[in-house]
Structure 1
Amino acid sequence: MKSLMKRVFAAAAAIATVFGLAATTVATANAADNATLTVSTADAKFAGKTVNAYKMFSATVSGDGKAVSYTLTDEWKPFFEKSVGLTGVTSENVNDKANDYVSNLQGDALVAFATKASNWAQTTANNIAAGATATVSADASSGNYTATFAGLDYGYYVVAVPGATLANTSGQYATLVSVDSTNVNANIKGSLPTVDKKVQVNGNGADTADAKIGDTLTFTLTSTIPDMSAYDTYTFNFKDTLSKGLTYGDITSVTVEGVDAPLVKDTDYTVTTTPAAAGNTLLTVGMTDFKNKQQTNAGKKITVTYTATLNENAVVGGAGNVNSATIQYSNDPSSTGTGESEPDKVRVFTYGFTVDKYTGDNYNDAATRLAGAEFTLTARGDTSAIKFVQVNAGSATEDAVYRVAKAGETAGTTTTITTPANGKVVFQGLKNGEYTLTETKAPAGYNKLASAIGVKVNGQNDGTDTTNATVTITYNNNNGSNYDQTASNGVIPVQNKSGAILPGTGGMGTIAFTVIGVLVIALGVAWTLKRKNA
């Protein structure tokens, strides 16, 4: 106790940090216990969450506010006797031992103590009652999210958010705060489970990708294994909503950072797919016996990798095909309740363009449109034309629509695209890249194009919000690499000229007609001269 008193009057120890326990002394006077504790965070994920304050030590404050004495509460004595691992602790000296222990904590040791104390407080079997409870709400004046505890007794508190079972970016897990004045402020510590979703592009994770219909894409869902010490059992599920334009394929792996062997399906996790609203599909990867199997890996990354195929229902252009994932997790050690993380989204885009077949000197609305022109479309560098499925045959008032065939799709597929009466054909389901558009047959009475047309599709998007992609279609008329013309609204005008009737050698030909003409003229001249001489 004598060494403890010396620390009290040492200036450096008398002013403790918000995480440390202030030095103890015998109070010369008691202040009224009517304190307000405000805890805050800039993290919007905490909005609406419950915050609990557990009083570990009660406190009295001297009249001048310069000295504080702390007394360990009875319910926290077992924590120091059994959990902290103090030596020589008896029921008679536990208060002094606890004071002495906490006063000397700093750095990583203090962070570790906060973690242990928070888990102890939240473990139902320990019967630690929260001294006060508050709810986090937005604070318009500061822009932060705050929870306020009013009318608190003076004391040393463990402040924890049930479900916040991860260290934050600073490595902090829970808040330790000495409430020894009428108004005290502290920061909320710890972090809630989150998920990071990516689509793989050239071996790297991205928030967006472009693909053609039929392409198979690889997605990853990454989260962090929480500290589940306060829980008897722990729910931890990856939940991923695939838009109707994506067909789920298979889970290719579930891995834990630093662990060589991947987790095993139906042993370590289960996979279910169920229909969801608007034709979407809900994929759930549920962890089995998660606490017992993964508590030792708390703080490590866990990653689910799966495949999905862009299908015939894919949105072309626009806001893309949205894929949204969350983590469902246990959020209260005292119940079976669960929370759900903020969703993380990726978008897969596919694009298209339109061919407008016409004849005449001017390309405008009055120009004559041509039916019956036939085209193929080939990716630059490929030798085989792309297979399409006709979605709409078109008419005098409707465009024909063809979408890229899915992998393995054979029924109703064609490589020949034919213009309808209105002359317009829409090509859908293409990824970014260069293509060759070849006219293989001209409409009856018109000349086929002398060369193929080079087309470049360049779609750009700005991430995972709901804005539409910007698609630029450029082209040339000689299938070169210089795309010097831009398709207005994605429409490429393709002109056909009517064919001239060419001379042949199988009939009398023009020579015969010339001879006959000369003879007729000669006879006419002879007849005129004869009449004149008569």
Structure 2
Amino acid sequence: MKTNKFLQVILATILLLTTAFVSNQHIVSADDNVDVKNTNITINKRIFDEGKTPANKQNTGDVMSDFGGQPLNGSEFTVYNVSDQYYSLIKGSDQNTAIAKIQQDAASVAPDYAKKVDAKTTAGQGQATFANLPLTDSNGKYIVYLFVETKTPNNVTITKRAVPMVVAMPIYKLDANLKPTNDINKDIQLYPKNETAKDTKEFSNLGQFNQVTVNGTTFANVTTGDTLNYKLTVNIPANIGDSNAVTSYKINDKPSAGLALVAGTVKVGSLVKDTDYTITEHDGGFTVDLKLDSAAVKALAGQKLQLAYNMTLTATVDPDALQSNKASVQINNDTEQQITPPTPVGTGGYKFTKKDAQTGKVLQNAKFVVTNKDQSKFATFTTNANGDNVFTKWVDTKDAATKVVSDANGSIRVIGLLNGDYVLNETDTPSANYVLLKDGTITFTVEHGKYGASNLDVKNTPKGLLPSTGGAGIYAFIIIGAAMMIGAYIWFKKSRQQAEV
């Protein structure tokens, strides 16, 4: 019996060490002659960032304060009894082969032959303890347990789940040299590992735009005529195909008020709309809802999915506010996992008031074109609901340009321009009674953040007024002239009489 026990201890040790050196799988085996009836098994859940998960980490069965990773709460582990299958498999084979087959069967979900014992969710420091698990069944046969991570947290995307763990009772403690002792481990510590990857969002054509830094914030300087390309990379959960673990997976993009999706531009990897996903475009953004019964979606388990789409500034964009779009992933309709937004965008504009140069009265219906600094390009605009002139593009001739017109308040507002110097050239005065401004007279500088404070008075000088012949003006001249002549005659007569005396 001593020889038999020694061989079994050696086997248990070899299998325990295999947790570190064979495909990162936790394998533990058993002995035949023990007095201990129950044991505790504690799951110590650890999560690692993508690429930082240790390939092999020896599991000693004791507390391992240097195991690495971060504790992960919210993972559900279910323990099953797989003793019948285990003992059936080892007939004509060996323990390692039997355990590997059970692990393979449980790679996605627990196999049908697994009999559920209990389920617990990690908490505190990523721990879940299964207390007082029996070492033997009612017939005195040692039990073989299977631990499967049946659910992962909704607030983090798990790209690599913990490998199913097979624990064949009983487990012996190891000494400092990792040699087996004669003491049964009644408080087994297991360290399953998860890996997570960071979802990212990129401003794909950022390099096409000038980047400006104001008060420590860097943004891309864009116009309302520019198309902005975005790329969103999300990591699909490793258990996306398990309907008990993942019931919903949504990808959201929510732009700020001045930014909106170009309709119909969203591409979701190689997935097919309405077959593999549905999309709802709303509030300037969108929601992609993956169809979890799709074979193409299930095949993405633990993989990356890339979305590409275009956005533009809206016609009612605030020229003084930076615009950004926030993306997120939502698993099982739980709290959204926010994705760090890319570089924001900003535009600019300017305001003018048309006035009479003498009276200061505001003037309506004056017409202008906007040009670049050297007056070689001319701007076209659309008009939004607020009456603002929203930039669309540059053209080569004045005839092709949009004429912006002063409204009833004499106001002209242009928005959606880049930072820089521009010219406002008058093409038509409010009426024929005003002098047309010479081209190049009105220059202005656009700077993001200063639209609200901008206001340039554009003044027209009235032409000189002459009274019309036969009009009221001539009568005034006649009356005044007659009075002056009568006065002169009286003075002349009076002077002459005095001289004769």
TM-score (norm 2): 0.57
8 A Cα contact 1:241 1:281, kept in partner:
yes
Aligned letter for 1:189?
N
Report how far residue 438 of structure 1 moved. 0.6
Query: Structure 1's 377 and 77: CA in aligned 2 closer, same or farther, altered over 3 A?
Result: farther
Residues 161, 353 of structure 1: alpha-carbon distance in 2 compared, 3 angstrom cutoff: farther
5 Å matches for 1:63-102? Answer: 73-76=83-86, 81=89, 90-91=90-91, 94-95=94-95
SS at match of 2:229: strand
Q: Which residue of 2 aligns with 1:355?
A: 352
- Partner residue of 1:160 out of 149, 157, 166: 149
Match of 2:363 among 368, 371, 374: 371
Q: What amino acid sits opposite 2:229 in the alignment?
A: T
Q: Give the alignment partner of residue 213 of structure 1, picking from 207, 224, 245.
A: 224
In structure 2, what residue type is equivalent to 1:220? Answer: K
Structure 2 counterpart of 1:492, one-letter code: N
Q: Which whole-Å CA distance do the structure 1 matches of 2:19 and 2:302 have between them?
A: 32
Q: Which of 1 and 2 has greater Rg? A: 2
Taking only the aligned residue pairs, the percentage that are identical comes to 13
Q: 2:295 matched to which residue of 1? A: 291
- 1:301 has 2:301 as partner: no
Report how far residue 36 of structure 1 moved.
5.0
For residue 129 of structure 2, what is the aligned residue in structure 1?
Answer: 149
**Residues 1:451 and 2:441 are matched in the alignment:** yes
For residues 257-290 of structure 1, give each alpha carbon's deviation from its aligned partner in whole angstroms, at most 9, with x where no partner exists.
Answer: xxxxxx37469x55755464xx456453756974
Partner of 1:246: 260
Offset at residue 120 of structure 1 (A):
0.7
- How do residues 36-435 of structure 1 correspond to structure 2 at under 5 angstroms? 36-39=42-45, 49-54=74-79, 73-76=83-86, 81=89, 90-91=90-91, 94-95=94-95, 117=103, 120=106, 122-123=108-109, 125-135=111-121, 139=124, 146=126, 148-149=128-129, 151=131, 153=133, 158-162=147-151, 173-174=162-163, 180=185, 182=187, 184=189, 186=191, 189-191=194-196, 195-202=199-206, 211-224=222-235, 227=238, 231=242, 239-241=251-253, 246-251=260-265, 255=269, 263=270, 265=272, 272-274=278-280, 276=282, 279-280=283-284, 282-284=286-288, 286=290, 290-291=294-295, 295=299, 299-312=302-315, 314=317, 317-318=320-321, 320=323, 322=325, 324-326=327-329, 342-344=337-339, 349-356=346-353, 368=360, 370-372=362-364, 373-379=366-372, 383-389=377-383, 391-392=385-386, 401-404=388-391, 415-428=402-415, 430-435=416-421
Q: From the superposition, tell whether residues 383 and 182 of structure 1 become closer, same or farther in structure 2 (CA, over 3 Å).
A: same
Assess, with a 3 A threshold, how the Cα gap between structure 1 residues 132 and 272 changes in structure 2: closer, same or farther: closer
Secondary structure class of the residue paired with 2:45: strand
Distance 1:228 1:76, change over 3 A: farther
Q: Deviations over 1:91-150 (max 9, x none)?
A: 276447668x8xxxxxxxxxxx9xx9387165254343454323456x5xxxx7x45335
Do the aligned residues in 1 keep the contact of 2:235 with 2:303 (CA within 8 Å)? yes
Following TM superposition, by how much is the alpha carbon of 1:37 offset from its aligned partner in structure 2, in angstroms?
A: 4.2
SS in 1 for 2:388: strand
For residue 376 of structure 1, what is the amino acid of its counterpart?
V
- Unpaired segments of 5 or more residues in structure 2? 50-69, 136-144, 172-184, 212-217, 395-399, 467-484
Residues 50, 220 of structure 1: alpha-carbon distance in 2 compared, 3 angstrom cutoff: same
Moved more, 492-501 or 227-236: 227-236
Do the aligned residues in 1 keep the contact of 2:163 with 2:192 (CA within 8 Å)? no
Q: CA RMSD in A?
A: 5.9
Kindly tell me the number of residue pairs found equivalent between the two proteins: 405
1:467-517 deviation digits (Å, cap 9, x = unpaired): xxxx245xxxxxxxxxxxxxxx442333537568599xxxxxxxxxxxxxx
SS of aligned partner of 2:263: strand
Cα deviation per residue 1:34-58 (whole Å; 9 max; x = unaligned)? 5554536599x999845114357xx
Q: Which of these residues, 496, 499, 508, is aligned with residue 459 of structure 2?
A: 496
Asked whether the 8 Å contact 1:432–1:457 carries over to 2, the reply is yes
Aligned to 2:76, the other structure's residue is in SS state strand
State the SS of the aligned residue for 1:391.
Answer: coil
Shift of 1:416: 2.5
- With over 3 angstroms needed to count, the CA separation of the structure-2 counterparts of 1:427 and 1:128, relative to structure 1, is farther
| Structure 1: runs of 5+ lacking an equivalent | 57-71, 82-89, 102-112, 256-262, 332-337, 362-366, 393-399, 408-412, 459-470, 474-488, 504-519
TM-score of the two chains, using structure 1 as the length reference: 0.54
Checking the alignment, whether the CA contact within 8 Å between 2:379 and 2:393 is kept in structure 1 is no
Q: 1:34 to 1:5 in 2, by over 3 A?
A: closer
The one-character-per-residue Cα deviations of 1:199-226 (angstroms, maximum 9, x if unpaired) are 3224699997664335433332323455
8 A contact 2:40–2:130 mirrored in 1: yes
Contact 2:221 2:419 in 1 (8 A): no
How far 1:453 sits from its partner (Å)?
A: 1.5
Would the alpha carbon gap of residues 528 and 187 (structure 1) be closer, same or farther in structure 2, given more than 3 Å must change?
farther
CA-CA distance at 1:31 after TM superposition: 7.3
Cα distance in structure 2, aligned partners of 1:252 and 1:6: 59
**Contact persistence 1:239–1:327 (CA under 8 A):** yes
The 1-side partners of 2:112 and 2:20 are apart by: 28
C-alpha contact 2:371 2:423 (8 A) present in aligned 1: yes
